[in-house]
Structure 1
Amino acid sequence: MTTAPHPETVAPTAPHAGALDKGLRADALGLLSSIVIAVSSTAPAYSTAATLGLIVAISGTHTPGMFVVAFVPMLFIAVAFRELNKIDPDCGTTFAWVRRAFGPGAGWMGGWGIIAADIIVMASLAQVVGRYALLLFGADGLAAQTLPVVVVGVVFIAALTYVCYRGIEISARLQFVLLVVEILGLAALCVVAFVKVGTGHAMTGHAHPAAAWLNPFTGSFTSVSNAFLLAVFVYWGWDAAVSVNEETKDAERTPGRSAVISTLMLVAVFFVVAVATLAYAGPDFLAKNSGDVLGALADSVFGSTLGKLMILCVLSSTAASTQTTIMPTARAVLSMAAHGALPARLARVHPRYLTPGVATVTMGVVSAAFFVLLALSSSNVLADSASATGLLIAFYYGLTGLACVWVFRKDLRRSRRDLLAKGVLPLLGGLALLGAFVLSIRSYLPASSSATHFAGIGGIFLIGAGALLIGVVLMLVARSRYPGYFRRGL
């Protein structure tokens, strides 16, 4: 293996101040592959199965409107990613850009936000992969047991870590296959559900679509913010396409275009799925089956024989998301190490595969260990960990939006386009997400807000806020071990 040069000994790659040649395979991905990675990482089927019912439990038939409202700041942040990537296509994304805007400490915490969110969500993904893989092969009894699910989940993490280790092209080809299976499954669900609604064969308690469904602001401010944060979790993942910017053709433009295009595609998918499932099954059914909406609907929509289609759909979605969760985390770690903020060995790139070998394997091992720890602790802890991920997402997305405004502060008077794309939209997106972060931190504090609690404090708060606190501690340790990074300033 080769070690990436230390940033202090290498001149920045012109014209991108601060960008480093880390040794990754350049020009390996085109626009289509980049969009596939972005949508796959979001995992529409998995996100729907795991989150739709929770949002419906809060917003009811107004859930489609909540998806539209949550999409708006996502689009604004995607625009921020696009603009920042144009001037600095660094695979560390938020880490590199926040460092550029607010200094090394803020940058370190931005990078930690990515890493912590990905590691925490990997536990939930691995559990779903393990369970659905067993269900697909008819092992329903084993799927209800913790140990078999953990074993299969760990095997999947290992297998997909290996795929990421072997090369970005192999990863992209696998993503394409998994995404096709996933989108076809969701499309079939929506078409059949709409046909049954139209022919009078919907489930008892189904809802009649109305214009009022587009208004999500019907509950208390706290409930709306909680539903909003859950919807943010549903959209999370499109930035994976930007994390592979150094391996993409036309690195300054293609990743940003794919980020914006993917968010537009995702709002269409989530909106149609929400309307179809509400019209077919109704809010009560979806809320009661919030742990797995698609699995609960499968037999009713398709029948017992074709019901396996939904299992395959969610399995492929979760496997795809598992893979694309490993990829951006490994590259964030690689970037942080290349800039001197983490141990230098984490910046090593495989000499043949040109992937962040050490960082990828490290991500796989840490994720598997964290999954085993949570799974053996309690299924409720796993449920809370998935919800806590939304806090970390809002944190680092919001930070990126504000960083965009600050980086481009001198450009905002040049044109209306610059003012809008580099200032107004990123600022609104950043403030919306950070506002939701603060409100949700408060609402998740009580023990009653989570499936688990300790000393009267909710588990979601403990995991989300605890992860950020751990990040602060690790940053202080890094400050003493890698003073060169922190002395370099803005």
Structure 2
Amino acid sequence: MVVAMRKLIERLFWKQNPGVYQQKDAKLTPSLRTIDLIGLGTGMVVGTAIFTLPGIVAAEHTGPAVPLAFIVAAIGAGLSALAYAEMSSVLPFAGSAFSWINVLFGEFFGWVAGWALLAEYLISVAFVASGWSAYMQGFLASLEIKLPVALTGGFNPAKGSYVDILAALAILVVGILISRGVHQVSRIENFIVSIKLLVIIMFVVVGMTAIQTKNYVPFIPPHKPGTSFGGWHGIIAGTAQIFIAYVGFDAIAANTAETKNPQKTMPRGLIGTLVLGTGFFIAVSLVLVGMFKYSRYANNAEPAAWALRQSGHYLTANLLSIVAIVGIFSALIAILLASSRLIYAFGRDGLLPKTLGVVDGRHVPNHALWVITFLAMILGSVFPFTFLATLVSAGTLVAFIFVSLGIYALRPREGKDLPDAQFKMPWYPVLPTISALFSAVIFWGLNRDAKILMVGWFVVGLVIYFAYGLRHSIINQEHRD
């Protein structure tokens, strides 16, 4: 019994040879440039979150101080982005944190990190689609077109809604687009992102004319005991909820194997996305809470367009809604693309059925793509928007912690059995610890339901790993051979 346990523990620490990933990922075509990565990242970062979350977070947690929550989140994400940049420059493989941790700490820890990412990706796709549906319904309502209540939201019999048909449709359309190849999708993504940024600038300019300074007072409302509203408690709670805005970093890194010269291109894409995204978040949230008292944005999934309509800017509001309807697709493209590459990586490693690791004639892992597409369609059409927004940050934060700590295992191997990094995380060995602690504090700020459900998700992951992955993984086969 003792010997068997010792062998099992040793088995969990078996590390993957990076050469195996390099060989298997060679079937994917490297076609993404720096501008494409920034397009993908910005499409996700300046995506659904910027059109939807500032109002909800202001009403539920921060009051007018919602820009501070975005700044705190940006600091945490920025620290993690530095770790991601070094990792991706040394280990340019599909699957991002899953593949990296597999090489550095062993298969079991890689699976845990990858399973956390899968939660992030699945819920992110559903969340983005749910936000798109809210904007589409608002736009249709302005044209006096209304869907049956039963088809307008997640499962909520009290409100009469059972399925969000528009969310499911959006995911399906994006899945079809991605199945045609990465190169074509990146062109569409860059065009959509460019238009979206121009309209966001227009919102800021027009919205500034409707700002009332009284709406900023008090900027940080006092904390309400027993709740997550007000004070720094509220800001940290708001930060945890809006961390979804920064999952674009992992969405970029997941496509490392399809990037030209990833050693230089990937760090530029990551850092460029952070700077651009944070600036837009601060500007939009400041204008939004200045236009109306924060409490009026409660449970409003399209606050920017609503604020413009209430201010009498109907043309700008409808234009914003149209761009949001099209622009949120850019976030769906980015996250569905990344999630399909993660599922591909699981199949490539044998931790899930190997058919998921098959790449077709268009150099697309379509089996993985359609599995994640249909799962996301179910989640996005059944679960409510605010519920999804709360959950998605948990997986992101777990991945950020793993990658930050992974720098300690990566740095001693650089220039030896692994390539030397073209970009290095500064202030080593202090900054990786600060980065991991920062993400851990934000994770602790998540609500109780998010943490409980994350524990349940990990239990399911462990069952799958020990029942299937442990016996079928390519590492296990290599050691048997």
Letter of the 1:272 partner, please give it: A
Partner of 1:482: 472
Q: Equivalent residue for 2:458?
A: 468
Deviation of 1:18 after TM superposition, in Å, equals 4.9
- Give the distance between the partners of 2:41 and 2:261, measured in 1 at CA: 17
Q: Using the alignment, how far apart are the partners of 1:187 and 1:100 within structure 2? A: 43
Equivalent residue of 2:40, what SS?
A: helix
SS at match of 1:206: helix
Q: Are 2:182 and 1:176 aligned?
A: no
Q: For residue 94 of structure 1, what is the aligned residue in structure 2?
A: 97
**What are the equivalent positions in structure 2 for 1:347-426 lying under 5 Å apart?**
347-351=357-361, 353-372=362-381, 374-375=382-383, 379=384, 382-409=385-412, 420=426, 423-426=429-432
Give the conservation status (yes or no) of the 8 Å contact 1:41–1:320.
Answer: yes
Query: For 1:421 and 1:485, how far apart are their aligned partners in 2?
Result: 34
* Pair 222,481 (structure 1): closer, same or farther in 2 beyond 3 Å: farther
> RMSD of the TM alignment (CA)?
3.2
State the partner residue of 2:274.
Answer: 263
Q: Pick from 207, 211, 223: which aligns with 1:193?
A: 207
TM-score (norm 2): 0.83
- Give runs of aligned pairs for residues 194-273 of structure 1, distance below 5 A: 194-197=208-211, 202=212, 205-207=214-216, 222-273=233-284
Distance 1:166 1:64 in 2: 38
Find the aligned partners of 1:171 and 1:483 in 2 and give their Cα distance: 31
TM-score, normalisation: structure 1: 0.81
- Structure 1 letter corresponding to 2:112: M
Gaps of 5+ in 2: 1-13, 154-163, 222-227
1:119 aligns with 2:122: yes
Deviation at 1:160, TM superposition (A): 0.7
- Taking structure 1 as reference, are residues 301 and 427 closer, same or farther at Cα in structure 2, changes over 3 Å only? farther
* 1:71 matched residue in structure 2: 74
Measure the CA separation in 1 of the matches of 2:247 and 2:17: 34
Structure-1 residue corresponding to 2:333: 323
Paired positions, count: 442
1:454 is matched with none
CA distance in 2, matches of 1:104, 1:125: 31
Paired residues of 1:45 and 1:313 also in contact (CA < 8 A): no
Mapped contact 2:66–2:235 kept (Cα < 8 A)? no
CA contact (8 A) 1:100 1:407 kept: no
SS at match of 2:30: coil
Out of 221-230 and 167-176, give the one that drifted further: 221-230
Shift of 1:330: 0.9
Q: Structure 2 vs 1, CA of residues 329 and 422 (structure 1 numbering), >3 Å: closer, same or farther?
A: farther
CA distance in 2, matches of 1:209, 1:177: 40
Matched, 1:107 2:117: no
Partner of 1:46: 48
The amino acid that maps onto 2:459 is L
Q: CA deviation at 1:271?
A: 0.9
Following superposition, which runs of at least 4 residues in structure 1 exceed 6 angstroms of deviation?
none
Mapped to 1, the partners of 2:404 and 2:52 lie a distance apart of 27
SS at match of 2:188: helix
User: Match for 1:257: what amino acid?
Assistant: R
> In 2, are the aligned partners of 1:66 and 1:227 still within 8 Å (CA)?
yes
- Taking structure 1 as reference, are residues 484 and 240 closer, same or farther at Cα in structure 2, changes over 3 Å only? closer
Q: CA deviation at 1:196?
A: 3.7
What is the CA-CA distance between 1:300 and the residue it aligns to? Answer: 3.0
Q: Which residue type is aligned with residue 274 of structure 2?
A: T
CA drift of 1:171 comes to: 0.9
CA shift, 1:356, in A, is: 1.2
Q: 2:289 matched to 1:299?
A: no
CA distance in 2, matches of 1:145, 1:86: 49
Specify whether residues 358 and 102 from structure 1 end up closer, same or farther in structure 2 by C-alpha distance, changes over 3 A only: same
Instruction: Give the C-alpha shift of residue 233 in structure 1.
Output: 1.8
Q: 2:6: which partner in 1?
A: none
Q: Deviations over 1:347-371 (max 9, x none)?
A: 11111x1111111111111111233
Distance of 1:188 and 1:370 partners within structure 2: 33
Between stretches 357-366 and 424-433, larger displacement belongs to 424-433
Deviation at 1:268, TM superposition (A): 0.6
DSSP 3-state at the match of 1:420: coil
Select which of 175, 178, 181 maps to 1:167: 181
Quote the offset at 1:29 in angstroms.
Answer: 1.6
Amino acid of the residue matched to residue 349 of structure 2?
Answer: H
* Counterpart residue number, 1:56: 58
Q: Which one of the candidate residues 425, 433, 438 is aligned to 2:439?
A: 433
- Counterpart amino acid of 1:86? S
SS in 1 for 2:43: helix
Find out whether 1:308 has 2:318 as its counterpart.
Answer: yes
State which drifts further: 158-167 or 477-486. 477-486
- Compute the displacement of 1:60 (Å): 2.1
Letter of the 2:360 partner, please give it.
H
Structure 2 Cα separation of the partners of residues 282 and 130 of structure 1: 25
Whether the 8 Å CA contact 2:63–2:230 is kept in 1: the answer is no
- Residue identity (%): 16
- Distance verdict in 2 for CA 1:140–1:402, change over 3 Å: farther
Does residue 333 (structure 1) correspond to residue 343 (structure 2)? The answer is: yes
- Report what 2:161 is aligned to: none
CA contact under 8 A between 2:44 and 2:245: conserved in structure 1?
Answer: no
CA distance in 2 between counterparts of 1:313 and 1:144 reads 24
Contact 1:179–1:316 under 8 Å retained in 2: no
Give 1:81 deviation, angstroms: 0.8
Structure 1 residues not aligned, in runs of 5+: 1-7, 446-457
For residues 270 and 122 of structure 2, the distance between their equivalents in structure 1, rounded to whole angstroms, comes to 22
SS of 1:142's equivalent in the other structure is coil
C-alpha separation between the residues in 2 aligned to 1:73 and 1:206? 28
Are the equivalent residues in 1 in contact too, given 2:241–2:389 (CA < 8 A)?
no
C-alpha distance in 2 between matches for 1:162 and 1:53: 32
Letter in structure 2 aligned against 1:172: S
Is this contact kept in 1: 2:347–2:357, CA < 8 A?
yes
The 1:184–1:350 alpha-carbon spacing in structure 2 relative to 1, beyond 3 Å, is same
1:142 to 146, 150, 156: 146
Distance 1:154 1:436 in 2: 31
Distance in structure 2 (CA, Å) of the matches to 1:143 and 1:121: 24
Are the counterparts in 2 of residues 24 and 356 from structure 1 also a CA contact under 8 Å? no
Q: Name the CA distance, whole Å, in 2 between partners of 1:227 and 1:137.
A: 30
Are the counterparts in 2 of residues 26 and 247 from structure 1 also a CA contact under 8 Å?
yes
Contact residue 30 and residue 259 of structure 2 kept, 8 A: yes
